[in-house]
Amino acid sequence: MNDTLLDEADMFPFTDGKVVFKCPAPTTYEKYIEYIEQELPPETPLAFGMHPNAEIDFRTTQCENLFKLLIELQPKDTSGGGEGVATVQSKVAEFMSRVADEASLDSNKPNVEEILSKLSEEDRRPYQNVFLQECELICVLIKEIIRSLAEIELANKGELTMTEQMEVLMQNIFINKVPATWLKLSFATTRALGSWLDNIK
């Protein structure tokens, strides 16, 4: 609070005149409320000294979160539902076939030992070392994907007990989201599950 507030000071001094909201002259409480309701410009990042693109990013994130929640809230088990309605089981089965057939993750994973055999000690420089480390990480990720999907398949056949972790994994596959257990071993990504799988292969 300072004296300039009583001299119709610009409340958004850093907007270069793009958004103007001046402090009203001294008046009654009711008039202040009326002035705020009638004269206050629409909310804008400029009022907070931010770039206009900050609102675009905020609204985009807000929309994405809203649609993710809607997808998570939609009914998942429709065993008695109509034809063509995807169930958790059908989505998981479809994803498993993509992993096994289309992506062929198990057969396409990098053979680190073969790569190492082709590199001599003189060839092992920082770039080659980083490449080998990335290959090893991808191999660990692929092993985890195949292992966890195999467990789900066994649980669906009744040969294993369905655990909470398996159910969470199945729900993530259903809503096309990369499961946290896989993301922990993966490269950083904001992709949906289908796109993420395409990126691995």
**CA–CA distance from 186 to each of 33, 115, 129, 132, 137 (Å)?**
54, 21, 18, 15, 8
Domain residue limits, the chain:
3-41, 86-200
pTM: 0.63
Angle between helix 164-174 and 126-157 (nearest 10): 110
φ/ψ (deg, to 5) at 159:
-90, -15
According to the model, what pLDDT value does residue 79 have? Answer: 53
Q: Is 125 helix (H, G, I), strand (E, B) or coil?
A: coil
Write the Ramachandran bin of 17: left for phi over 0, alpha for psi from -120 to 50, otherwise beta. Answer: left
Q: Mean pLDDT for each consecutive 10-residue tract of the chain (201 residues)?
A: 72 75 84 87 80 85 89 65 70 89 82 84 84 90 93 90 91 90 89 87 74
